[in-house]
Amino acid sequence: MQASETSTAPLYALACLSFVWLVAVVANLRAVHQLALVLLLSAWWVRVLGRRAVHVVAPIAATFLLAVPIWGALVPILRRMTVVASGALVGLLRVPAEIQGDFISIESGTFIVENGCAGLNYLLGGLVIGAFYANLVLTGWRARVAVVALIGAISIVGNWIRVASLVVIGHVTHMQSSVIGNHLWLGWVIFSVGLIPFFLIARKLEQRDHAAQRAPTRSSGGEGETIAFHERVAWPERARRAAFASLVAITGPLLYSVFAAMPPADLRTWPSVDDEIGGWMLAETLPRPFTWLPRYEGADERYSASLERGDAHVYVDRLVYRGQSQGRELIHNENRIAGPDEVLRDGITGGVRTNGRWVRQAIVRAPEGPILVWYWFRVGGIDTFSPLRAKALEVVAFFRRSARAELLAVSAPCDADDCLRALEALSGFMISRGGGPMQF
């Protein structure tokens, strides 16, 4: 038996990927668990068929990876390339235009190259076509890479032509053409036209690839010799490999199914704001002096209260997620304490005599004036100011069967010139809670 036949590297990869899949599913990291699934299936095939199967499995896995939502990271790069290249094309066509950032300005108006104009859809569509062509028709890896790179380049250049065409159409029609407002079809028309030179060139590469495969080489000893893509192993051994590899691969999904079927643990109810504590009175008739609310979506419960002590006022917001799922998560890119244009400052703060505890501090711009906000997260009964730690706590809470997660925020309006009085009000409220934010 060859050394490659007894290699356990794919087995270790299976175990790691199964665990990564489990963590990603529990933490609602969709792109990560989809990526782990593709790699998990690929590692399973390599383990069963042997290392020689890598050159067959890898291209198939790469094709499936195109469906995993990880390619959005290319959008800023593609958008910048589109602005520069389309601006250059417009200049070659003698259309006077000025480029500033993501804006292309002409005499009749201004075009903005947004994320949707970066051409990611055309690129991914082209790469899928190229990948299928390469896997179904070609044999050599150089030819496969060349075909995929070719369709990728044609897709990107086609998007540049689309944007440049829109600018030219806007210049010629003084921004009156209906194509400008409904231009997606134009991109797909240009993409379809670009397939013509692609298939012509790909056909040439295919002929060269087949000729190279027919040519005798020193290593093959002559024409017509083939090498099996899998190791020659007796079927009982292969069945044993498949069974053991399958057992390792399903460890993560099996653990997830078992724990998900268990009933949630009974968490003690964390105290809400009492009618009176530490001198602070619940002021049910006190209206909020601002319209700001935390911009967190998908919560099962929303609780707000106004409290006063003397002439100091604080406002409490508490959002509860009883069970998180895709699109209904506490920690998510779209969830934030306020809109990106409304946050004047967001960071970490401490030193309010809370036994070393820290919270996040933000100054939010509202129509009524600036607001000082202290906020933190509670996952499975554990408080943290860190979104990353809160995400990790979701995994711990899942196995403890305590999926409850919360956002807690206290706020106070600032004066026109500073937030000193708001800071004192929040500090006083935290201290009165008997230990600060951990006891709220």
The pLDDT > 70 percentage for the chain reads 87
- Are 310 and 427 contained in the same domain? yes
Total residue count of the chain as it appears in this document? 440
Residue 356 included in any domain:
yes
pTM of this prediction?
A: 0.72
Give the H or E element holding residue 200: helix 184-214
User: pLDDT tens for residues 357-383?
Assistant: 688 999 999 999 999 999 999 998 888
In degrees, rounded to 5, the angle at the alpha carbon of residue 174 between the alpha carbons of residues 171 and 175 is 90
| Neighbour-count burial of 437, counting CB atoms closer than 10 A to its CB (0-12 exposed, 13-18 middle, 19+ buried) | buried
pLDDT beneath 50, residues of the chain: 1-6, 218-227, 268-271, 353, 355, 435-440
Residue 340 included in any domain:
yes
Q: Is 223 left (phi over 0), alpha (psi -120 to 50) or beta?
A: beta
Residue type, 126: G
CB 311 within 8 A of CB 268: no
Q: 102: domain range? A: 71-214
Return the beta strands (E) in 27-102 as ranges. 98-100
- Are 200 and 87 contained in the same domain? yes
- Are 107 and 46 contained in the same domain? no
Q: Give the 3-state secondary structure of residue 53.
A: helix
Residue 63 included in any domain:
no
Residue 60 included in any domain:
no
Would you tell me the crossing angle of helices 184-214 and 120-137 to the nearest 10 degrees?
20
Q: Which of 160, 180, 214 is the last residue of a domain?
A: 214
**How many domains would you assign to the chain?**
3
- Are 80 and 177 contained in the same domain? yes
Q: Give the 3-state secondary structure of residue 410.
A: strand
- Are 306 and 333 contained in the same domain? yes
Residue 64 included in any domain:
no
Cβ neighbours of 165 (radius 10 Å): 19
Residue 224 included in any domain:
no
Residue 66 included in any domain:
no
| Neighbour-count burial of 268, counting CB atoms closer than 10 A to its CB (0-12 exposed, 13-18 middle, 19+ buried) | exposed
pLDDT of residue 351: 55
CA dihedral sign, ordered 85, 91, 95, 101 = positive
Q: Which of 84, 123, 120, 118 is nearest to 104 (CA)?
A: 84
What DSSP line would sit under 144-187, residue for residue? HHHHHHHHHHHHHHHHHHHHHHHHHHHHHTTT--HHHHS-HHHH
- Are 303 and 412 contained in the same domain? yes
- Are 112 and 166 contained in the same domain? yes
- Are 304 and 429 contained in the same domain? yes
Q: Give the 3-state secondary structure of residue 252.
A: helix
CA dihedral sign, ordered 253, 259, 264, 269 = negative
Cβ-based neighbours of 370, under 8 Å, separated by 6 or more: 344, 363, 364, 413, 414, 419
- Are 88 and 184 contained in the same domain? yes
- Are 317 and 240 contained in the same domain? no
Query: What CA–CA distance (Å, rounded) separates 348 from 310?
Result: 28
pLDDT of residue 174: 84
- Are 75 and 206 contained in the same domain? yes
Residue 221 included in any domain:
no
- Are 179 and 247 contained in the same domain? no
HSE toward the beta carbon, residue 293, CA cutoff 13 A: 11
